[in-house]
Amino acid sequence: MNASCYNESQEAIAKRDFGVKHYTIHFQPDNLATTIHAGATLLEAAGQAGLILSTPCGGMGRCGKCTVRLLPSEKEVLACQYTIEHDLTVSIPDSSRFFKQQILEHGIQRKINGFPSIRKIFLENPPSQINALCKALSEKVSAQVVVRNTPDGALASQLSSCRGNEATAILSLDDCQEQNACYQLTGVEPGDTTGKLYGAAVDIGTTTVVVRLVDLNTSETVATASSGNPQSQYGADVISRISYCENESGPEHLHDTVIACLNELFQSVTRKVDIESNDIYEITAVGNTTMNHLLLRHPVRQLGQAPYQAHSLVACNLQPGELGLHMNPAGNIHILANIAGFIGSDTVAATLACGLDISKVNTLLVDIGTNGEIVFGTQSHLLAASCAAGPALEGAGISFGSRAQAGAIERVFLNEVDIDVDVIGSVGASTICGSGLIDAVAVMLELGIVDYTGRFCETEDLDPMLSDLIRRRVITYNNEPAFVLAGEYAEGLWEAAVVLTQKDIRQLQLAKAAIRAGIELLLQKAGTDTAGIQQLLLAGAFGNYIQKKSAIRIGLLPQIPLEKIHFVGNAAGSGAQMALISRDARKMAKKLAEKIDYVEIAHQTDFQMVFSEFLLFPEK
């Protein structure tokens, strides 16, 4: 326990100011800002802003890979070592960014190029006939060009409108039996439109949907948007959504819901850069197998019954009209391959982005979400498992829980005699998101507010040396014990309080036990234990926001040296983006899906015993 949180005279407390100062950090060229408490590092601030820096040494200050520049002085500092004492503007070079480095390094090692599967070819004087156009295009791209199966006369009509004028042909790469590769002619546009060629990388999570808009001419992300998955209103997890599909209209309803969500996100990202949804020519989509099947209108009932077999595991390409997505009708939709019934293309994408198939050290990839996924191994052998963690770690099912949004508590920490919080946005605390939940319970364990079983301690059993500022936070809320994280305290009462209840603690225990048991059993299947983990990559919608010490303290992660743990953020989204900008990446994703061996954790004989063991919190 932090000794500073013990009692001292109330007179002394009254004379001191325990409020922790917060500062605003601006990151360039991303044009992002975050507010964080004094004493935090720039690495932590970058994580809160959603920026993943390269830290091979685990943030210990040894590798020098997280170098950033303070503006306007241009002074170079290590983000993991520089502590924040005032407002700052910071420039992050590409060389210090995790996924920029990953794509560059793998471009050398794995021959990933930045050549997307869709391209535009400008023609000053296009032929008047489709066959002649295909021949002219074949000469330009040094590959066969064939006509895509489009509505009768559509391409001819488009070409006719360009007759005698400049035109831009839209080509989509397609595998052909006769030769290695060929292009499909999918559309013709008047004028030179080669400057507008955008794609969207889509990560459909059980709780959160994320869209990255990418300029396919430069491979750069130009806008990002996310929202809660609206399917959640019909079930918080995949099992409940599969059950909802027992209704005759259920599958189509869930399909339409996520399509509407994606179209809204497309509108959001295109508005940010002043383009139209019609300027999106390609989409790559990943998600767990249930999300994949609902998107593609595949049956899902069999996923809820042993042996939990997927309707399809293969990657596929679709025309825009087949799904009703708002994009250019001449474009293409690529869906990455799944691994098994509960391990989908999001795991394939995350594994691709993190380079596990070329890793020479035992790597554990943990993608935390409602449907948590775990991958372990090296380039010679990879094992994967799924664990139904539930939505608690994404804020759902928690009394004051929410996604990471304005007003959400994202950090909880001890100051001298009390606790303090970091809140997203320049507003007061109104909710708590997953990273804040993990921090809060870690702090409550340290203070002895809850014991190793997760039970709130009786007031009379609390450490007598706890300060009154901490003690007054232990209250009764809706007839159950609770702990106040934020609010206004006056005349013995809390107002506008954000609290954690006994029920919330239990929900967290169920989630963290599912993930931790999955890790333990997967390691057993690989013939090793936690000592065999040479590096742990923490991914997920909020993976880079989690404090390592807090995750270990509550037993979410195994007790390994902190320098072995690295944050990789939304690795699934990054893998989807790699597949969007590189046709080679798509081929590697396909091979990965076939290479990874799936382990059904719930079928392991000692699953219940291991799960029950990890329901408990680690003792000090």
- Per residue in 282-305, pLDDT (tens digit) is 999 999 999 999 999 999 999 988
pLDDT category of residue 161 using cuts at 50, 70 and 90: confident
Cis before residue 391, ω within 30 degrees of 0? no
Q: What pLDDT shows up at residue 399?
A: 95
Kindly indicate the confidence band of residue 180, based on its pLDDT and cuts at 50, 70 and 90: low
The confidence score (pLDDT) of residue 7 equals 45
Residue 477's pLDDT is what? 95
Question: Distance between CA atoms of 76 and 68, rounded to whole angstroms?
Answer: 6
- Of 25-34, 49-58, 525-534, where does the model show the most confidence? 525-534
- The pLDDT of residue 376: 97
pLDDT band at 174 (very low <50, low <70, confident <90, very high): low
**Of the listed ranges 27-36, 198-207, 611-620, the one predicted with least confidence:** 27-36
Tokens standing for 314?
């293969």
Q: CA nearest 51: which of 557, 543, 563, 431?
A: 543
Between the alpha carbon of residue 532 and those of residues 272, 358, 558, the distances in Å are 45, 18, 11
Q: What gap in Å lies between CA 111 and CA 113, rounded to an integer?
A: 6
C-alpha 203/C-alpha 334 separation (Å) is: 12
The CA-based angle 372-376-379, given to 5 degrees, is: 135
103-117, 151-165, 352-366, 530-544: which is most confident: 352-366
Residues 6+ apart with CB under 8 A from 553: 442, 445, 446, 617, 618
- Name the residue among 222, 149, 198 with its Cα closest to residue 326: 198
Burial code (b: 16+ CB inside 10 Å, e: under 16) for 306-328 equals eebebbebebebbbbeebebbbb
Give the mean model confidence (pLDDT) for residues 556-574: 91
> What pLDDT shows up at residue 3?
41
Lowest mean pLDDT among 359-363, 433-437, 602-606: 602-606
Higher pLDDT, 163 or 394: 394
How much is the pLDDT for 490? 92
Mean pLDDT of the region 377-404: 90
**Structure confidence at residue 108 (pLDDT):** 30
Q: Which of the given ranges, 24-38, 266-280, 409-423, has the highest pLDDT on average? A: 266-280
Of 283-287, 385-389, 480-484, least confident by mean pLDDT is 385-389
Question: Which pLDDT belongs to residue 330?
Answer: 94
CA 330 from chain centre, in angstroms, equals: 29
How high is the pLDDT of residue 31? 87
Structural domains in the chain plus CATH codes: 22-96 (3.10.20.30), 118-190 (no CATH), 198-335 (3.30.420.480), 351-387+512-615 (3.30.420.40), 393-506 (no CATH)
> Which residue is listed with tokens 């003690």?
471
Of the listed ranges 6-20, 43-57, 148-162, 559-573, the least confidently predicted one is: 6-20
Per-residue confidence (pLDDT) for residue 100, from 0 to 100 = 61
Which is more confident, 179 or 115? 115
pLDDT, average across residues 420-435:
91
| pLDDT (average), residues 44-72 | 86
For position 277, what pLDDT does the model report?
A: 96
* pLDDT value at 11 more than 50: no
Query: Average pLDDT of the chain?
Result: 89
Nearest 5°: phi and psi at 566?
-130, 140
- pLDDT of res. 284: 98
How confident is the model at residue 152, as a pLDDT? 54
Cis peptide before 251 (omega within 30 of 0): no
Q: Rounded mean pLDDT of 559-567?
A: 92
Lowest mean pLDDT among 130-144, 169-183, 197-211, 225-239: 169-183
Q: Strand 493-501 vs strand 480-490: parallel, antiparallel, or unpaired?
A: antiparallel
pTM value is 0.84
Collect all residues with Cβ–Cβ distance below 8 Å to 35 and sequence separation of at least 6.
22, 23, 24, 25, 422, 423, 425, 426
Spatial contact of 241 and 254, defined as CB atoms under 8 Å apart: yes
Confidence of residue 8 (pLDDT cuts 50, 70, 90): very low
**Residue 164's pLDDT is what?**
63
Q: State residue 453's pLDDT score.
A: 97
In this predicted structure, which of 55-59, 147-151, 337-341, 488-492 has the lowest mean pLDDT? 147-151
d(CA 209, CA 229): 6
- Confidence class of residue 413 from pLDDT cuts 50, 70 and 90? very high
Percent of the chain with pLDDT over 70: 92
